[in-house]
């Protein structure tokens, strides 16, 4: 029975829902031997590095990927290899004379541990440590031996209609293959373009970067495309890597995608020229504090959101961020000292614009947020409110301060004041309000002082966002939620600020305005649908001349590509993609290349050379051939 698109989509859904400890779902099989999946072309390793996948002009954005159902299927070589390696590892231990670890007879065991300090000390010069504290995520592929892959490709071409339904028979087919020698072909592809032109493609791994591979690539390009071809270069720099940790399960990332073209002779790992365009892609993730210049802003934002969540869902618990927890007696003394200081000052004549010392409610917030539980907050609030009732507080709250505590401070100076009843939710509400006011003023101040953004305009955006949020959230709830897109916009704009030349900071207000509009509009739209906005991404393209390239280009590009094409008239006969990657996403390719990669040690007497660093790259070559209609 022919395979259908519904079967393939159901398999993808089951794989996406599978937990780490769950068994893998039964694959969709071809000839009871090969796994078949439907995947977007943009997810295929090496091909995904193409600057514009649409230029390949394939019949579909999705492709069929064929491989084995599991690793080692169809061959016992994998198991035998593991056994052999294990045996080699234990052989030295069989001879006691070979164990030189305990060099002092009768003495303690002599050991040496590799630390980050030692690693950095050994890396002399400008050498980065790639992949430290990082788990690599590999593409799910169980490759087929190359000879079988070639036969399977021919079989599918001749018998496609017997095994695939019409809905998938027109999709291009990518077969995952492997071979033990270089050049190792890892992908075989075939299909038709959107103009019904037949194409064939192969991705070959040449090995690690060296002069031999470099010369081979240049020679093949000249043969395929001629010596006067236009070279389209691309270099991707990772400014912040997407590394998940226990405390950062949803990390963000920042990449700078640099693209330029030349008609000069191809040079691998060519540096971008000044006419290059840089696409900055920022993904803040969720709860990733690396994007926040001020850690306190990060902590206070998510603490305020937690308070708002507890008010909306009273059964939830307040999670206080302080670690280690503060001593409550010390907090009582801080509150007493604040009351004493407030009894000696009168800020009634201080304007909102010139107020920089911190509102009285800011100072209360900075004390109560260090508590360990709501009961402690209630006791501290009562101490402060009793001082208000006795007329000890002479300080005034700012006019724009809309919190309930600020209203109580104003009332205490003009009429008879009664201490309100503080229960659990009323305490949390009062705490959230002063937290919102404190964070709002801090964020506005950074926007205006560092990013040159008008404070009045930001106040208007905040108020508009608060008003446009669904009324069901409650007034102060909306005020808390409206801080999220504004603070995320601050983190995004700050990252762009660090990537620009100092003289080009004048474009920041316009970029910041675009970020604010995007984040607030997305927040409001999702809130109206009852969803929570947790995706904050921004992308912009700037000329390299505006970028502080000495900063991000001090790191090596994680991906470097060159694209060429050979045309006859208006028809493209071949496309060639040369790709150099520091960390290919195919596990078997990593193992194959690493086995042949040279090992070097940098010392002060012999620092790392450029050729040593370049050997970290894996060189891959993909050629698309388009067969003209006869």
User: For strand 144-145 and strand 173-178, is the pairing parallel, antiparallel, or unpaired?
Assistant: parallel
Q: Counting runs of H as helices and runs of E as strands, what totals does the chain give?
A: 18, 14
Question: Would you state the pLDDT for residue 123?
Answer: 44
Spatial CA neighbour of 620 closest among 216, 329, 119: 216
The answer to whether the beta carbons of residues 39 and 8 sit under 8 Å apart is: no
Q: For residue 548, what pLDDT is reported?
A: 92
Task: Supply φ then ψ for residue 176, to 5 degrees.
Answer: -80, 120
DSSP 127-189: ---TTTT---------PEEHHHHHHHHHHHHHHHHHHB-HHHHTS-EEEEEE-SSSSEEEEEE
Q: How far apart are CA 408 and CA 388, in angstroms?
A: 8
Q: Could you give the CA distance from residue 367 to residue 362 in angstroms, rounded to a whole number?
A: 9
Cα-based torsion angle of the residue sequence 348, 350, 352, 357 in order, rounded to the nearest 10 degrees = -110
Per-residue confidence (pLDDT) for residue 113, from 0 to 100:
43
Place of tokens 């995004």: 492
Residue pointed to by tokens 């947020």: 369
- Distance CA(535)–CA(17), nearest Å, equals 20
Residue with tokens 């964020």: 443
141/337 Cα distance (integer angstroms): 65
347: CB partners within 8 A, 6+ apart: 355, 357, 360, 395, 396
Give the model's pLDDT for residue 402: 84
Global pTM reads 0.79
Provide the pLDDT for residue 93. 40
DSSP, residue by residue, 259-307? EEEE-S---TTPPPPTT-EEEEEEE-TBT-GGG-SSHHHHHHHHHHHHH
Ramachandran angles phi, psi of 593, nearest 5°:
-70, -40
Please name the residues in contact with 344: beta carbons below 8 A apart, sequence gap of 6 or more. 394
Q: Identify the pLDDT of residue 128.
A: 40
Closest CA to 320 of 435, 437, 441: 435
The answer to whether the CB of 562 falls within 8 A of the CB of 34 is no
Contact 188, 150 (CB under 8 A): yes
Strand partners, 198: 192, 627
25 neighbors 18 (Cβ within 8 angstroms): yes
User: Is residue 278 within 8 Å of residue 544, measured between CB atoms?
Assistant: yes
Could you tell me which residues are beta bridge partners of residue 235? 258, 560
Angstrom distance (rounded) from CA 178 to CA 182: 10
* Side-chain-facing half-sphere of 66: CA atoms under 13 Å: 27
Burial class of 327 by CB neighbour count within 10 A (0 to 12, 13 to 18, 19+): exposed
What is the sign of the dihedral through the CA atoms of 400, 402, 408 and 414?
Answer: positive
> What are the average pLDDT values for consecutive 10-residue runs of the chain, which has 630 residues?
88 85 86 92 90 80 91 49 35 40 43 43 41 63 92 91 88 92 90 88 87 71 63 91 85 93 78 91 90 86 91 89 83 91 61 54 91 92 88 81 85 78 90 92 90 90 86 65 92 93 92 94 86 87 93 90 81 86 89 80 57 81 81
End-to-end CA distance of the chain: 33
Residues 6+ apart with CB under 8 A from 602: 122, 123, 124, 125, 127, 608, 612
What pLDDT is attached to residue 185?
92
Hey, what are 224's tokens?
Answer: 């395929």
**Three-state SS letters, 26-90:** CCCEECCCEEEEEEEHHHCCCHHHCCCHHHHCECCCEEEEEECCCCCCCCCHHHHHHHHHHHHHH
Q: Give the pLDDT score at 608.
A: 55
């Amino acid at each position: 029975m022919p395979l259908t698109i519904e079967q393939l989509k159901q398999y993808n859904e089951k794989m996406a829902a599978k937990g780490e400890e769950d068994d893998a779902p039964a694959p969709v099989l071809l000839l009871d031997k090969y796994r078949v999946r439907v995947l977007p072309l943009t997810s295929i390793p090496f091909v995904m590095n193409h600057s514009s996948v649409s230029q390949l002009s394939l019949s579909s954005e999705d492709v069929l990927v064929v491989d084995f159902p599991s690793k080692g299927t169809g061959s016992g070589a994998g198991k035998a290899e593991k056994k052999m390696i294990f045996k080699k590892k234990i052989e030295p231990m069989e001879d006691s004379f070979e164990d030189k670890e305990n060099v002092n007879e009768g003495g303690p065991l002599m050991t040496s541990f590799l630390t980050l300090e030692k690693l950095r000390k050994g890396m002399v010069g400008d050498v980065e440590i790639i992949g430290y504290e990082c788990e690599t995520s590999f593409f799910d592929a169980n490759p087929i031996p190359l000879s079988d892959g070639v036969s399977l490709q021919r079989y599918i071409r001749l018998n496609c209609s017997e095994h695939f339904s019409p809905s998938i028979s027109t999709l291009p087919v990518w077969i995952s293959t492997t071979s033990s020698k270089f050049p190792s072909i890892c992908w075989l592809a075939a299909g038709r373009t959107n103009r019904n032109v037949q194409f064939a493609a192969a991705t070959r791994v040449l090995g690690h970067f060296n002069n031999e591979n470099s010369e081979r690539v240049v020679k093949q390009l000249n043969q395929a495309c001629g010596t006067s071809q236009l070279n389209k270069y691309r270099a991707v720099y990772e400014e912040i890597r997407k590394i998940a940790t226990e405390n950062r399960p949803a990390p963000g990332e920042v990449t700078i995608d640099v693209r330029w073209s030349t008609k000069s002779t191809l040079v691998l790992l060519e540096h971008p020229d000044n006419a290059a365009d840089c696409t900055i892609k920022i993904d803040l993730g969720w709860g990733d504090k690396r994007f926040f210049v001020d850690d306190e802003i990060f902590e206070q934002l998510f603490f305020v959101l937690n308070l708002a969540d507890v008010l909306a869902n009273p059964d939830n618990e307040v999670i206080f961020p302080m670690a280690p927890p503060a001593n409550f007696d010390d907090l009582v003394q801080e509150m007493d000292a604040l009351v004493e200081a407030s009894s000696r000052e009168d800020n009634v004549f201080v304007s909102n614009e010139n107020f920089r010392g911190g509102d009285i409610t800011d100072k209360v917030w900075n004390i109560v947020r260090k508590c360990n539980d709501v009961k402690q907050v209630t006791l501290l609030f009562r101490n402060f409110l009793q001082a208000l009732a006795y007329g000890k507080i002479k300080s005034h709250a700012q006019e724009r301060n809309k919190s309930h505590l600020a209203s109580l401070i104003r009332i205490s100076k003009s009429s008879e004041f009664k201490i309100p009843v503080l229960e659990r939710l009323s305490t949390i509400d009062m705490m959230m309000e002063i937290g919102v006011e404190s964070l709002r003023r801090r964020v506005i101040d950074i926007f205006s002082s560092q990013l040159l953004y008008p404070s009045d305009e930001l106040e208007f955006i905040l108020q508009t966002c608060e008003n446009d949020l669904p009324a069901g959230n409650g007034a102060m709830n909306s005020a808390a939620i409206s801080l999220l897109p504004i603070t995320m916009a601050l983190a995004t704009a700050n990252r762009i600020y660090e990537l620009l030349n100092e003289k080009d900071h004048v474009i920041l207000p316009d970029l910041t305005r675009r970020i604010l509009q995007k984040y607030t509009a997305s927040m409001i739209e999702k809130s109206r649908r009852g969803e929570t906005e947790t995706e904050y991404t921004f992308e912009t393209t700037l000329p390299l001349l505006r970028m502080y390239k000495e900063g991000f280009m001090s790191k090596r590009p994680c991906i470097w590509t060159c694209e060429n094409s050979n045309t006859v008239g208006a028809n493209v006969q071949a496309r060639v993609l040369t790709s150099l990657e520091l960390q290919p996403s195919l596990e078997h390719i990593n193992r194959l290349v690493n086995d042949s990669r040279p090992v070097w040690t940098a010392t002060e007497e012999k620092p790392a050379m450029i050729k040593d660093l370049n050997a970290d790259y894996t060189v891959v070559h993909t050629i698309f051939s388009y067969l003209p209609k006869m």
